[in-house]
């Protein structure tokens, strides 16, 4: 199966499953994380057995394996989850700037400096 996404949530789940698996987590941990019922235990067990591969596709067409999704990795492609972390941070910065600008204008109109 192949899944392509720009959604950070997908990478969060893949990363969390890897951490849970490597640290002796159980299907109960996966069920709790994904809000699954006890009847869905087989789904959780299967999620711990799979070994997903994650690739970052560079602009030059090369694919880089970032499957460990290690935030402490030296390679920026991996530590930044293929650029999604940086992109999410940029979104937050722009939104914060717009809100701050709006609030300054609002205070200025009200005569509050």
Q: Is residue 3 part of a domain?
A: no
Which pLDDT belongs to residue 58? 83
69: its two tokens: 């999704």
Q: Is residue 1 part of a domain?
A: no
110: its two tokens: 């009200």
Residue 72 half-sphere exposure, CB side, CA atoms within 13 Å? Answer: 0
Q: Is residue 68 part of a domain?
A: yes
Residues in the chain where the model's pLDDT stays below 70: 76-92, 113
The range of the structural domain enclosing residue 98 comes to 8-109
Q: Is residue 66 part of a domain?
A: yes
Q: Is residue 2 part of a domain?
A: no
* Distance, CA of 55 to CA of 78 (rounded, Å): 9
Which pLDDT belongs to residue 48? 93
* Distance, CA of 31 to CA of 45 (rounded, Å): 9
24: its two tokens: 């002796």
Which pLDDT belongs to residue 92? 66
Provide the number of structural domains found in the chain.
1
């Amino acid at each position: 199966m192949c899944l392509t996404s720009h959604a950070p949530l997908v990478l969060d789940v893949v990363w969390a499953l890897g951490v849970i698996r490597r640290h002796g987590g159980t299907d109960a941990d996966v069920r709790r994380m994904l809000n699954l019922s006890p009847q869905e235990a087989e789904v959780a067990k299967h999620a711990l057995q799979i070994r997903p591969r994650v690739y970052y596709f560079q602009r030059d067409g090369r694919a880089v394996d970032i499957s460990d999704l290690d935030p402490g990795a030296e390679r920026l492609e991996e530590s930044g989850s293929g650029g999604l972390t940086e992109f999410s941070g940029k979104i937050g910065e722009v939104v914060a700037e717009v809100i701050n600008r709006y609030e300054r204008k609002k205070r200025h109109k009200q005569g509050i400096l």
